[in-house]
Amino acid sequence: MKTKIKFSSVYEIEKRKIDKRLKSLLKDRQPLSLYKPGSYILESSGKRIRPLLVLFSVKAVGGKFSDSYSAAVAVELLHNFTLVHDDIMDNADKRRGLATLHKKYDLSTAILVGDSLLSVAYESLLKDLKLNSKGVVAAFTKGLVEVCEGQSLDKEFEMKKNVAISDYKLMIRKKTASMIEMCCKIGGYIGNGSKKEIDALSKFGRNIGIAFQIQDDLLDAVADETKFGKLVGGDLKEGKRTYLFLKALEKAKGNDKKLLKLVIKNKGIRKNEISKYQDIYRKLGVIDDAKKEIKNYTDRALRSLIVLKKMENRELFHSFADYLISRNK
């Protein structure tokens, strides 16, 4: 209990610092037609898990938070770049309870703002490059390359009849986990960690990232909608191949199999059909399957941290993992 209280305190303090930096980052830049919409995106609330992982990883190898705030801001900018473009591709109306950028402004503005966020991300990253600069830039760039590959795989799934769970795991490793892995790796480099420490942090990020995405799939399927903040069952409605859907398709027989195949054929379902498919998930036990998979990847992530010298640093990551997989939104 003591560790969790400490984690919560550190998390809230550092999250506020990141929020403050993000809110002021584009404030005095011109032209306003570019940077005002950019500020709109950055001022929306977010969990800020990626920049916080940079800070925690720096600390884990003996560095200081103060060595890495610019890099922490850079990864959040990169993350928001991906969100702006994802929203355009999905034609989404809302993000974090607010109108998406292309809905509030227009499509051309959203595309350009997304690109500018990526540019400013590199600008911010370069400010913290005192040690291991080649490793930091290489990790950051690899994260960017892989998240684009992951998004492309995700879009490919919309056109494919058959998607295996192994295909899905490759997609989320690139689209979600690669960014989280990159944050841990960058922190390790900036803190001047050993190769062994950086490899351990990298493995933690990769595995907790996969657990994080499967948890997202689970929440979308069965969360309390009042806490979740958006429609539960949205992935089913849009016909997305999530871990739960693919596991259900793997296990289903008879009429359940036919109903699941209709989701693929029709590219989604109606809102009033969501509860029927939730019942199929429960009957087939895929909710429990997802929980086991989340625990499996979380355990893998935490086992990699044994090389970290200080127990308090390992405990910080343990608490961070607890926070990620016990969240309700």
- DSSP letter at 161 equals S
Q: Are residues 189 and 132 in contact, defined by beta-carbon separation less than 8 angstroms?
A: yes
**Radius of gyration for the alpha carbons in the chain, expressed in angstroms and rounded:** 20
- Residue 300's contacts (CB-CB under 8 Å, 6 or more residues apart) are 203, 207
pTM of the model: 0.93
Output the pLDDT for position 222: 86
Collapsed DSSP state (helix, strand, coil) of residue 62: coil
Decide if 315 contacts 3 (C-beta within 8 A).
Answer: yes
Domains and CATH numbers, the chain: 2-326 (1.10.600.10)
pLDDT for 275-300, tens place per residue?
999 999 999 999 999 999 999 999 99
pLDDT in tens, 74-128: 999 999 999 999 999 988 888 877 899 999 999 999 999 999 999 999 999 999 8
Handedness of CA 70, 75, 80, 82 (dihedral sign): positive
| Residue found by looking up tokens 């720096």 in the block | 58
Whether pLDDT at 133 is above 80? yes
Q: How far is CA 241 from CA 82, 110, 153, in A?
A: 20, 27, 11
205-247 pLDDT, tens digit per residue, is 999 999 999 999 999 998 777 666 667 888 999 999 999 999 9
Measured distance between the N- and C-terminal CA atoms of the chain, rounded to whole angstroms: 22
Q: What is the 3-state secondary structure (H, E, C) of 194-207?
A: CHHHHHHHHHHHHH
**Residue-by-residue DSSP string for 20-52:** HHHHHHTTT-S-HHHHHHHHHHHHS----HHHH
How far is residue 142's CA from residue 51's CA, in Å, rounded to a whole number?
A: 17
Query: 262 vs 223, which has greater pLDDT?
Result: 262
Place of tokens 């992951």: 150
Q: Give the helix ranges, DSSP H, for the chain.
A: 2-25, 32-43, 49-60, 69-90, 101-104, 107-125, 133-157, 165-172, 178-190, 195-222, 225-228, 234-238, 243-251, 254-265, 274-284, 286-303, 311-326
Contact criterion met (CB below 8 Å) for 203 and 301:
yes
Query: Using an 8 Å Cβ cutoff, are 210 and 176 in contact?
Result: yes
C-alpha count within 13 angstroms, C-beta hemisphere, residue 228? 16
pLDDT value of residue 94: 82
Q: What is the pLDDT of residue 300?
A: 97
